[in-house]
Amino acid sequence: MSKNYDMIATVDIDIATPIVDDTSFDNLLIMGPAPKTGAKSPARVGVYSDISEVEDAGFVTSGADADPVGLAASVAFAQSPRPTAVYIAVQQLSEGAVVAGQTIKDTNAAVAQYAGKKEGLTGCAISFKESARKLSMVLDGPITGVKNTGLFDMLAALIADGYTATIEDTVITDGASFKACPVWSRLKKMDKGDEEQFTVEVNKAGGTAVLYTVAISYPDPDAPATQAAEDNEPANTPDTELETPATTIARALATSGWYVLCTAGVDPAKYEEIAAYMETQEKLFCYTELDCFAAPGTVREDGEDLVQPSVGNVYFRTLGVYGRETTDQADEDIPPANRYINVAFVAKWLNYESGSETTAFKQLASVYPSKLTSTEMKALADKSLNYFITVGSKNLSMNGKVIGNEWADIIRFRDWLKNDMQLRVVNLFVTRPKVPYTDAGISLVQNQMIASLKSGQDAGGIAESEFDEDGTEIPGYVTSVPLAASLSASEKASRKLTKCKFKARLAGAIHFAELKGSLTYEL
């Protein structure tokens, strides 16, 4: 039964819901190739809460057959406390590789259907080794006596499917074009005991050329038998070419919740490219540095630095972490987990709230410390590279800088503060019907700036107020905004508030303390 309240008073309630930000400064993303087995296809960009989920996605996480991404994920989850989430972005095959893969499939099928299968084959024996993409023809007389090989029927079938075949820059379409190719002149001159080998490029628009090896031999029955070398690898592998790192990263950026990109199984030659791309984002990139010291026995030029990082020193969003146990350690002796020391470094660091931490002096699990001389440590520090050594009875991360010679925790805190302040001001506009262009409205904006700076101060990134020797207060931060009366009519009509400024003192961190004193009989 109606209570008739509306006859006396009506109440309408609007819910002013603020924007919920999904930006995170606490999680890492591992970028690398798909599982080697190919039994499963993990998500292109996935989020995993423990190592079992990584394994369920198809990654092998331990042993001799471990996938780079799987082993890197196990290093991440080995840290204490372990991450609540690890993001993984899988590098997909390039478009050219997909086409090349189909080219191999179609060509192999055509070889199986036609090569050596035609009725009345004479003058040779034909075999095909699929794993090496090698077609072998053993002659029992001059090549001019060979008939009905089926090879040109195979070629016709491939051409009908849109493929092209090229030998020594000559497009081959039939028997006549093959005989016009320079290789035919050599084949006609073959005598007993001779061998000839050439490659055929098979290609389709949009793909990378696939190379097939053709080996022709004319055995001499009177000559001693020799053991032919076994060919197990194809001339090229365009079907395994991965997309560019920028393509993978762009896809990963569509998934929010991660802050630092760590590579696993990515060609070190791509690090500079990744660093350049990440410099355009408000995120960080961390890689394992293995080759910054010259290989043993290498003679350095006069004046050449002891350390040559894989990435130039012009990037302020890239960190390198040295991974070898000793500078002369052979590649095969590097502990597998140490190749992903970058992941351990980041997983441990991001466990701490932005502003409350420094990247140095963190204990890392599952990776072995380096044994470095003072000269080597100084050389790494001079190039703003991070490293992991034993100090006393503890294994600790050292330095804590990006390659551009700024403290990594400062970069992280700056990104956090920008996001926090921006979100607070945006929510001010979203949750209020109007922020007037008056002193009162401008103060509302200033209050959000102050609230964000106070939050940064509480986190430990901004210094507390302090006092000098005269007792004068040195504030941790100050803000200033314009008075409404000082703004022109056109500025107010634009509805854009400018000239809002703040300055804050970084709390920083102490990484070294120098203590001096003396012992006396009297003070």
pLDDT mean over 204-213: 91
Asked if residue 260 lies in contact with residue 28, where contact means CB atoms within 8 angstroms, the answer is yes
Cα atoms found within 13 Å of the Cα of residue 400, Cβ hemisphere only:
23
pLDDT band of residue 19 (cuts 50, 70, 90) is confident
145 three-class SS? helix
**Alpha-carbon span 474 to 467, nearest angstrom:** 5
pLDDT band of residue 3 (cuts 50, 70, 90) is confident
| 293 DSSP β-pair partners | 307
Per-residue confidence (pLDDT) for residue 17, from 0 to 100: 74
pLDDT band of residue 501 (cuts 50, 70, 90) is very high
Token representation of residue 460:
């430990």
pLDDT band of residue 5 (cuts 50, 70, 90) is confident
| 137 DSSP β-pair partners | 126, 216
pLDDT mean over 195-215: 93
Indicate whether 407 pLDDT > 90.
yes
The neighbour count for residue 155, using CB atoms within 10 Å, is 22
User: What is the pLDDT of the chain when averaged over all its residues?
Assistant: 94
Per-residue confidence (pLDDT) for residue 302, from 0 to 100: 67
Domain boundaries, the chain: 28-92+242-408, 97-240, 445-523
Percent of the chain with pLDDT over 70: 98
Which amino acid, residue 274? I
Percent of the chain with pLDDT over 90: 88
Question: Which among 213, 183, 186 is positioned nearest to 199, based on CA atoms?
Answer: 213
Asked if residue 268 lies in contact with residue 331, where contact means CB atoms within 8 angstroms, the answer is no
| Pairwise pLDDT comparison (42 vs 10), residue with the higher score | 42
**Alpha-carbon span 199 to 135, nearest angstrom:** 10
pLDDT band of residue 204 (cuts 50, 70, 90) is very high
| 48 DSSP β-pair partners | 86
Token representation of residue 6:
């509306």
- For residue 219, count CB atoms less than 10 angstroms from its CB and return exposed for 0-12, middle for 13-18, buried for 19 or more: middle
Phi, psi of 413 (to 5 degrees): -65, -40
DSSP 264: S
Q: What is the pLDDT of residues 427-467, one digit of tens each?
A: 999 999 999 999 999 999 999 999 999 999 999 999 999 99
C-alpha distances in Å from residue 36, one per residue of 41, 53, 61, 307, 369? 10, 17, 12, 33, 29
**Alpha-carbon span 68 to 58, nearest angstrom:** 12
Asked if residue 101 lies in contact with residue 239, where contact means CB atoms within 8 angstroms, the answer is yes
Length of the chain: 523
Which amino acid, residue 249? I
